[in-house]
A and B are shown apart, each in its own frame.
Chain A
């Protein structure tokens, strides 16, 4: 959680010539290997999550209590059992509960059960929620979570792309104008990234929503939602501005500072001087001789910053009432909705895994040093 705060050391991996293979084969091969590795990694991560979640049998206890309640209610309403006395009825309920627990595998030893959970979690069979439902009325945790996912993805892919593009261009510009006033201002602002995005979100709400009234306090669309698609999109955009700015502000300066430093380090290499001496234009030197070797390092630090972003999202969405995964987790934790909490945690593990995997592929595409079947790129 903290490591993204400092720019990483440039990777000291040795430059080894790849064997003569076409880029496509190399990348496909590499991708396949990484996919398997990442799948195993996600599986271990999810399993650990389950172990932590069920520490001391908490989840089981909650599930058992739920089963008993459901059975008791259904027996209570059933005409067939109306004329049973309480003794018989209790015995009957106990029998049904045991049957149900057996069906769900709750009477098995924990080790076996944990693997059942793992399988369920891997195929996103996350169980049923007791007190929450999706907007479409489903009580399946999977539906509840998947319904919220697009909002989160929309918010975070937008801010991530914005960060990435602005970051690269500004840091290239700064490394060109190293020592200028703008450069010093941005380096001076880098420590502001110590605070998470939700923290700046509070300030932006205060300034732009409460005092100036330019943007809404929060939410996804205005209520009632506009009829036409265009107005709907505009409304969403309007609601997105503040959270995106908050994310942007909280990470951009540190990002620029780190990237600028890498660009500077690489632009002092001998081969860059050589290229300049050959008379290549600044643009070509920048793109082929500075950007190219720096990108892998930048991608690595991006992976870390995205992970920080995911976690920042939980509070950010809560602050902005953004109906995404983070706010779902917050709501679920407020009403103690275990299945949704565990489910969201699993989905977060998936999201992180997919993010890291995706960046790995990008890494393989841009890093000419990736050795197939080597130490898996040496980066996560």
Chain B
């Protein structure tokens, strides 16, 4: 305990270490929170849920905060209805009896549009309750300047989705302009550079039902260009989920890999030094062979031929790192202290080889292990990202690397979706720097030779 306190006191001398520690503590706390708030299975379900879960999100939408930049005013997603489910006064539904057999169920959506850009797409989700005769819904669009545009007539059988941009008749009525633009464009603006007309729009869904109990419900989604704090990807998924869940995954992967490799390397080095002779020579030769083993290509092979699970990768990575070059460093230090008289004492009372190695040799040098271990964490976090970018990420889990990989595959940089790359990259960078800063400071604390430098 005192050793830890002394180390912390020494670390507090380095401002970078304090910042790094703060980052690490914040990450750990947040990871614990997120694992409790969104359990593993739920996170996987959400991430793998496909379009169904995220139906009402726009595709590759930027985060909402881009609207804070001067001159940027992108539309947010407007979701309305069905009537009655919320107290929203902007959705009104009324029934008008037309004749004995026919009733008109009219749903009116009223909303303000103030953005400078056009929405991404417009969809209407229709559901109906009927016995045999299918309701007929006709959709009409009312613009702020009083124009009335017929959208489509739809027979509702089960849940029906009307995507405005796919209505061919509407497209013809709008002279071939895409529906999102044609419906919102200011007639005064030129056809080459249309601007949206701001004001109050209305969509009237008049459903003609032919049975007494029949009913039609509608839900309007005007997909915006911004979404949430993190934006969405090409599958409409909220990136926030991956960014948040990526943190515990990255931490767990980095920590486990660093612990696994540094501890196993350390033990192997200690065994080699203690037994000396053939054992030591063998370990040295294995290290040399291991040095030229192409780790990443082997990981790629394992990922392709066997399993992509993050834990299998972790195991292979640790196995390949046991005889890493870190052995040489540890070996040099072990050789120095091996001659200390207390080993003589231990042998005199009859301690066995492994008792000496694990109770006398290794504990003495654990402090020298710590800096290398901390510095190793971020490099393993990046190994996970590297694997993900090579399409070898865990098939289930949302991770930062997978987000980067998706962004790369979908040409995010080329198409200007910078947020998609920058968000996971910033998180990777911050967490990597946090550990690296602490590790470098620890290195100076534990290696007095470096302290004055």
Residues on A close to B: CB < 8 A? 1-3, 5-6, 8-9, 11-12, 41-42, 44-45, 48-49, 52-53, 55-56, 58, 178, 188, 190-196, 198-199, 202-203, 205-206, 209-210, 217, 260-261, 264-265, 304, 307, 310-311, 314-315, 318-319, 329-330, 333-334, 336, 341-342, 344-345, 348-349, 352-353, 356, 379-380
Contacts and interface: CB of A to CB of B under 8 A. Distances in A.
Contacts of B306: 55-56, 58
Contacts of A205: 413
B99 interface: no
B449 A265 contact: yes
Contacts of B382: 194-196, 199
Centre residue among B294, B371, B414, B449 by max chain A CB count within 10 A: B294
Contacts of A44: 289
Contacts of B432: 191, 194-195
Nearest to B298: A52
B376 A356 contact: no
B292 A353 contact: yes
Contacts of B380: 2
Interface residues of B, number: 69
Determine the main DSSP class of A at the interface with B. helix
A315 B300 contact: no
A371 to B, nearest CB: 16
B324 A41 contact: no
Centre residue among A190, A191, A210 by max chain B CB count within 10 A: A191
A304 B302 CA distance: 24
Interface in B374-403: 375-376, 378-380, 382-383, 385-386, 389-392
A345 B376 contact: no
Nearest to A1: B295
Contacts of A55: 305-306
22 contacts: A1-B324, A3-B372, A5-B436, A6-B372, A12-B335, A12-B336, A49-B297, A190-B436, A194-B375, A194-B382, A194-B432, A194-B435, A195-B378, A195-B428, A199-B428, A210-B418, A314-B296, A314-B297, A319-B408, A345-B300, A348-B297, A349-B294
B291 interface: yes
Closest 3 CB pairs of A and B: A191-B436, A348-B294, A194-B378
Contacts of B439: 6, 191
A127 B261 CA distance: 35
Given A307-B291, A345-B301, 6 more contacts: A1-B321, A1-B383, A44-B289, A45-B293, A380-B288, A380-B328
B337 interface: no
B376 A5 contact: yes
Interface in B38-88: none
A338 B277 CA distance: 41
B453 interface: yes
Nearest to A351: B294
Contact of B294 (A58, A198, A199, A345): A345
Contacts of B333: 9
B287 interface: yes
B298 A380 contact: no
